[in-house]
Amino acid sequence: MTLSEVLSLEGEEGDFTATVKSAPRYVDMDKCIACGLCAEKCPAKTEDEFEEGLSRRKAIYLPYPQAVPLKYVIDHDRCIYFKKGKCRACEKYCPTGAINFEDQETTRTLEVGSVILSGGMQTYDPSGVDVYGYDRFPNVVTSLEFERILAAGGPTEGHVVRISDREPATRIAWLQCIGSRDQNRTANEYCSGVCCMYAIKEAVMAKEHVGQDFQPSIFFMDMRTSGKDFEKYYTKAQDEGVRFVRSRVHTITQADESGTMRLSYATEDGRLITEDFDLVVLSVGMEAADSAVQTARNLGVDIDPYRFVQTDDFNPVAASRPGVYVAGVLQGCKDIPQSVMEASAAASCAGSTLAGVRGTQVTEKSFPQERDVSGEEPRIGVFVCNCGTNIGGIADVPAIAEYAKSLPGVAYVEENQFTCSQDTQEKMAQTIRDQNLNRVVVAACTPRTHEPLFQETIRGSGLNSYLFEMANIRNQCTWVHSRDHARATAKAKDMVRMAVAKASRLEPIPDIAVDIVKSALVVGGGLAGMTSALALADQGFPVTLVEKEQELGGAAREVNHTWRGADVAQALSKYRDKIAEHPRIEVLTGSQIQTAGGYVGNFQTTIATPQGTKDIDHGVTVLATGGRAADTQEYLYGQSDRVSKWHELENKQEAIQAANCVAFIQCVGSRDENRPYCSHICCSSSLSQAIAIKEADPGKQVVIIYRDIRTPGEKELLYKKARQLGVIFIRYDLEHKPEVTETDQGLEIEVFDPVLQQKVIVQADLLNLATAIEPHPTRDLASVLKLPVNDENFFMEAHAKLRPVEFASDGIFVCGLAHYPKAIEESIAQAQAASSRAMTILAKSQVQISPLISQIDQSKCIGCGLCVEICPFGAIKAEEIEEGVTRAVNIPASCKGCGLCAASCPQHAIDMLHFRDAQIEASIEAAV
C-alpha cells in the first residue's frame, strides 16, 4: 500500500486494528503502462527530489526509474490543473485513459497480529549553517547529492563535475560529521555510523570515474570503519591515493567567481593550512525521518530524545508496546547489513506471536498445465526493451528488433518501453499463447535481477520456465558503449543473435522439490546460539543446541554490563532457565560436530557427546560458534600482574581502588598486518570501564591511549561522558606504538602525542589492553560443513548486504561473533535474523531447489573421483553401481550449478542443465 500511512493502532498483541490512510495517486494503476507520454507532455516542472534538487521533474512523474509499483503519480501541489483549474494535458495524451483527477483519499482498517515499523531515515539538512556555505555556494553539496552526481542515470550522467559551471572536478574535499557528533549546531550528539565508509566509497568511485588526476581529500575527526572488511577498504583507499586529513575544517569561502572553494583548517600539530578545491562534499548524518517518527507516535511506542524508537539491549527490535517491532534507522543509526539483519529479526519476533496461525491466510499461486513442446520446431519470440533511455537512448532499438526478425527460428518480435512492467508482462504471456511461441528471448537489462520475473511470466503462459534466455543489452552493452551509439547497436544485435542461437537449443527442465525435516541444529551455546534456539523453538520447531563447553553462555559470561548498563549475568540466567524449561530444546553440552552431510531440509549430523555419538536429522543449521578476546605478548601482558585485558580488569576491584592512575591501550593486535580488521566493540568496552572508574572515584586519573575512538550511534554519548568526567585521551599510530616498562612504582607508558608533537610518559598503576576479538577455531568445522571462512577465520556470508546471515550453501546460517565482532544487542538481532531466515525453510512442507544442476553421463564416467574431490558443496558422491564399478552420482539438492565439475571432468561426462556444451557452443558460433 504505497502513498499510505498508519493513523492509529488499537487493540493488543495478536489482535490489532490499524487505521490506514491512502493519498490519491490520480493515476489508475491498473491502466497505467508507464509509457511516460504524460510526463513528456506535462508543462509543469519542479525540483526532482530523487535527484536531490540537481535536476527537475514534471508534475506527473515516476518517483524514481525503478519505482515499485512502476506507475506514474500526480503531484497535487505542482499540477497546473489543481492550481488553476486548466491544462489536463496528461489526460489528453494518455493512451490508456489512466488519468483520474477525481481520485480521492481513502481510509481503511486492517486486522493484524503484529506490526513491524521500518519507517526509515532522512539526512541532516545543513542549510542555514553559515560555516558550511551550503545554501550560498553551488559547489558545496551534500553526500547524497554527490551520490546522484556519480550515478550513470543521474543529473550529470555520472560525470564528476562542479555544479557552478559543469567543468570537471578533480579536487574534491569530503567533510565528515556534518550534523553528527555535534551539540553546538544541532541536537545530534550521536555518531551516524555510516558517514566515514560512504565518504571513502564515494572518493574511491570518483577516482575510478575521473582517473589518475583526481585528488580526493577526506577531513575527519575519527575514522570509523569498524564493520566487516571496512578497515581493509579504508587501507585500500589510502593505497589508491585517497588523502585523509585529521582536522575539523573551520572556514569555507569561495576563492573566485568560477566557484573554486577555499578551505581553512588546522592540522593536528597546530599548523594553519589553506587549500582550494573544485567541490566540497558534506558528509551529512542520519536522522529518523519526520514521517516515520510521527508514525511511531501514532503507534504509541516510546521514542528517545534523539527521536529513535526505544528498545533495550536484550530485545533490540522490540518497541515498548508489545507486538510492535522496529527495524532500520528508526531504531538507531546503522548501515545496510545491520538494517537487513534487524528486518529479519523483527520478522522473527513477529512470527513468534503469529506461529499458531501460520499459513491460515496463504493463497497458493497456481500456474496452467505446462505445455509439452518437445516435438516442436523452435518458434522463438524476441522482446526488445527500450528501458526508458537506458537502452533506447543509446542503441537503435527498432533496428535491433528488425534484425531479430531475420534470425533462424524467430517467429515473433516486439519492442517494449519497459518489458519488466506489469502490463507488459501480462501482454507478453498473452502473446506467447496467441503466437504459439515455444521459446522466449528478452533483450533488456541484467538477468541477475529480472530473470526470475520473466521466467514466472512465461510459466504463466504455459511454457516451462527454462525455455527462456536473456540478452543483457543494458549492463553489457549500452552502459559500456554509451558514447558510441553505432557500436552499441551492433553489439546488441550480436547479443540477440547469440541468445536466439542458444534459445533454439533450450529444453524443458523439471522443478526439484525436497521434503523438509522440521527441526533445527544450533551449534554454539553463547548468547547468539541461545537466542536463535529460543526463537526457533518458540515458533514450534524442535531444536538441538550443541555447546562444546560444559556451560551455556559463551563470551557473554565475561561481560558484566552492556554499554547501556544492563546486567548481563542476570540476562544470561534468564536465557538458561528458558532453555532448560523449553520442551522443544535439547541441549548437548561438552559436545562437538563430528561429521555432517545432506542438503537443505535434509541434513544429517553426527555429534560427539560425553555419552557417545548421537546422529541428528534436521532441516536447517545455525552456526553461532562464538569468539574470544585474543591473547597477546605485547605491553607486558602475562609478565606483570598490573597488566590485564578486557574484563579481567573488572575482577581487580581492590587494585583499582588502590590505584592512582588506570590506563587503557586500544587496538592491541587488531588493525595491523596480522589482523587487518577493527574489533568493533573495544572502544565502547574501554569507555564503559573508564566511566565506571571515574564515577566511583572522580579523583582517580584514567588515560585511554587510542588510534581512533569508534563509538557509532548513541555509543558516542559514552565518549562524551568520559571526556566530561575527565578521562584523558592520547592518540597513537602504528609508527609510534606505546612502550610499556615496569618500575618499582608501577608502569611507565611512553607514547608520542601528535598534538604536543612530543613523547609523554604516563605513570600508571594498572594497564588494561583491548586485544583483538577473534573467532573460536572454525577451519575444522568449516571443512566438515564445506563452508567458507575469510583470512581471519570469520565465516563468510553469502552477500554482505543482501544476505548477511546466510551461506551460499542453502539451509545453513550464521550469527554472533563467529561472523564478526559485534555488541550484545547486534549479536541478538543477528541471531533472531538467522532464525527468521531458517524459518522460511522450516515453515514449508517442501523447499524448491534450483534445477540448474550438473548431469552425469555414467556411460562416459570412468569413476576417477576428481569431481567428488573438487565439488565445493559435496554435491557429487562416488557410488558403486555394480560390483567393482564405481561411478559419480549427483546430489541434486546440494548442487549449486557452479559447473566446476563439468569444467574439470577429463571424460566430458558432466554437462550443466541450461548451460549444456551444445547450447554454449551455439552461442559462440553465432557470435563469430
Residue 223 confidence (pLDDT): 96
| Residue 171 pLDDT level (bands cut at 50, 70, 90) | very high
Give which of 300, 304, 263 is closest to 281, Cα–Cα. 263
Distance, C-alpha 798 to centroid of its chain: 11
Q: What is the mean pLDDT of residues 483-490?
A: 94
Amino acid at 380: I
Residue 713 confidence (pLDDT): 94
Residue 269 confidence (pLDDT): 85
Query: CA of 800: how far to CAs of 57, 705, 804, 819, in Å?
Result: 34, 32, 5, 11
d(CA 854, CA 876): 9
Helix axes 397-404, 485-503, angle to 10 degrees: 30
Residue 420 confidence (pLDDT): 82
Query: CA of 884: how far to CAs of 359, 865, 879, 889, in Å?
Result: 50, 14, 10, 16
- 516 contact partners, CB below 8 Å, separation of at least 6: 601, 602, 619, 841, 842, 844, 845, 846, 847
Q: Is the pLDDT of residue 862 over 90?
A: yes
Sign of CA dihedral 861, 862, 866, 872: positive
- 570 burial level (CB within 10 Å; 0-12, 13-18, 19+): exposed
Greater confidence (400 vs 386) lies with 400
Q: Is the pLDDT of residue 389 over 80?
A: no
- Condensed to tens digits (0 to 9), the pLDDT of residues 179-238 reads 999 887 777 999 999 999 999 999 999 998 898 899 999 999 999 999 999 999 999 999
- Condensed to tens digits (0 to 9), the pLDDT of residues 697-719 reads 999 999 999 999 999 999 999 99
Backbone angle region of 726, left / alpha / beta, with phi > 0 → left and psi within -120 to 50 → alpha:
left
d(CA 87, CA 712): 51
Residue 839 confidence (pLDDT): 95
- Condensed to tens digits (0 to 9), the pLDDT of residues 31-62 reads 887 878 899 999 999 999 999 999 999 999 99
Q: What secondary structure letter does DSSP report for 331?
A: G
Residue 485 confidence (pLDDT): 94
Q: Are the CB atoms for 48 and 56 separated by under 8 Å?
A: yes
- Condensed to tens digits (0 to 9), the pLDDT of residues 91-134 reads 999 988 999 999 999 999 999 999 999 989 999 999 988 889 99
Give which of 376, 441, 386 is closest to 415, Cα–Cα. 386
Q: What secondary structure letter does DSSP report for 835?
A: H
Look up the pTM and report it.
0.87
d(CA 115, CA 862): 58
Q: What is the mean pLDDT of residues 742-749?
A: 93
Q: What secondary structure letter does DSSP report for 475?
A: I
Q: Is the pLDDT of residue 66 over 90?
A: no
Q: Going by DSSP bridges, is the β-strand pair 602-609/612-618 parallel, antiparallel, or unpaired?
A: antiparallel
Residue 477 confidence (pLDDT): 94
Q: Are the CB atoms for 216 and 207 separated by under 8 Å?
A: yes
Residue 359 confidence (pLDDT): 86
| Residue 849 pLDDT level (bands cut at 50, 70, 90) | confident
| Residue 153 pLDDT level (bands cut at 50, 70, 90) | confident
Location of C-alpha cell 518458540: 538
Q: Is the pLDDT of residue 740 over 90?
A: yes
Element (H, E) at 878: strand 876-882
Q: Are the CB atoms for 671 and 711 separated by under 8 Å?
A: no
Residue 765 confidence (pLDDT): 96
Q: Is the pLDDT of residue 658 over 80?
A: yes
- Condensed to tens digits (0 to 9), the pLDDT of residues 870-898 reads 998 888 999 988 888 999 999 888 888 99
Q: Are the CB atoms for 328 and 295 separated by under 8 Å?
A: no
d(CA 773, CA 793): 11
d(CA 264, CA 251): 5
Of how many residues is the chain composed?
928
Burial of 844-853, coded b for 16+ CB within 10 Å and e otherwise, reads beebebbbbb
Q: At 570, is the secondary structure helix, strand, or coil?
A: helix
Q: Are the CB atoms for 827 and 815 separated by under 8 Å?
A: yes
Residue 893 confidence (pLDDT): 83
Residue 39 confidence (pLDDT): 94
Average pLDDT, the chain: 93
Residue 440 confidence (pLDDT): 97
Q: Is the pLDDT of residue 75 over 80?
A: yes
- Condensed to tens digits (0 to 9), the pLDDT of residues 627-652 reads 999 999 999 999 999 999 999 999 99
